[in-house]
Amino acid sequence: MAFKTPTELQYSKTHEWIRIEGDEATVGITDYAQDALGDVVYVDLPEVGARFEANGVFGAVESVKAASDLYLPVAGEIIAVNEALVNNPELINKDPYGEGWIVKIRVAPGVGALMSADAYAAYVDTIKH
């Protein structure tokens, strides 16, 4: 099965995507990640105003089976969270790169190791069967 990896986004090894626009960015989890997790039933969202280092745990997505930590790909301050996920966590499964976005941040200096869409797709190929 081929997973979507939009080329305009950047990716982390922990399966988050990030869309950087100026000093702001939107973060979610990848199509591969939502598929591996299964039905998302709960999203643990951070508080607006919370600050995280690059690769810091800013929340979690949970399925019936397991909880999976969310890592912020770059350092930043949370400026918005996707409140729609509180009542409709399945948006992450349905539209991981769109309505299933998780947080918006103001980017601070200290960029983590990001991958292009091609590099991420190749990385996913190495970890799945």
Partner 1 sequence: MSETVGLRRTPLYERHLALGARMVAFGGWEMPVQYSGIIEEHRAVREAAGLFDISHMGEVEVHGPDALPFLQYLVTYDVSAILPGRANYALMCRPDGGIIDDTFIYNLNDYYLIVVNAANTKKDVAWMHECAKGFNVTVSDVSDQTGMLALQGPLAEALLAQVADADLAALPFHGVMQGRVVHTPAIVARTGYTGEDGFEIFVAAEDVMRVWDELLDAGRTIGLKPCGLGARDSLRFEACLALYGHEITEEINPYEARLGWVVKLDKGDFIGRQALQRIKQEGVARRLTGFEMVGRGIARSEYEIRDLEGAPIGRVTSGMPSPTLGKNLGMGYVPVAFSTEGSEFDVVVRDRPVRARAVKMPFYRPRYKKN
Which residues of the shown chain bind partner 1 in the complex (CB under 8 A)?
36, 38-39, 41-42, 44, 57, 60, 62-67, 69, 126-129
Q: How near is the Cβ of 115 to partner 1 at its closest, in Å?
A: 18
The residue among 37 and 75 lying less far from partner 1, judged by its C-beta, is 37
The residue among 45 and 107 lying less far from partner 1, judged by its C-beta, is 45
Q: How near is the Cβ of 97 to partner 1 at its closest, in Å?
A: 20
The residue among 60 and 80 lying less far from partner 1, judged by its C-beta, is 60
Q: Are residues 45 and 81 in contact, defined by beta-carbon separation less than 8 angstroms?
A: yes
Q: How near is the Cβ of 38 to partner 1 at its closest, in Å?
A: 6
Name the phi and psi angles at 21, rounded to 5.
-130, 100
Q: What residues does 111 pair with on adjacent strands?
A: 74
Cα angle for residues 76, 16, 110 (degrees, 5° grid): 30
Q: How near is the Cβ of 8 to partner 1 at its closest, in Å?
A: 27
Q: Are residues 18 and 10 in contact, defined by beta-carbon separation less than 8 angstroms?
A: yes
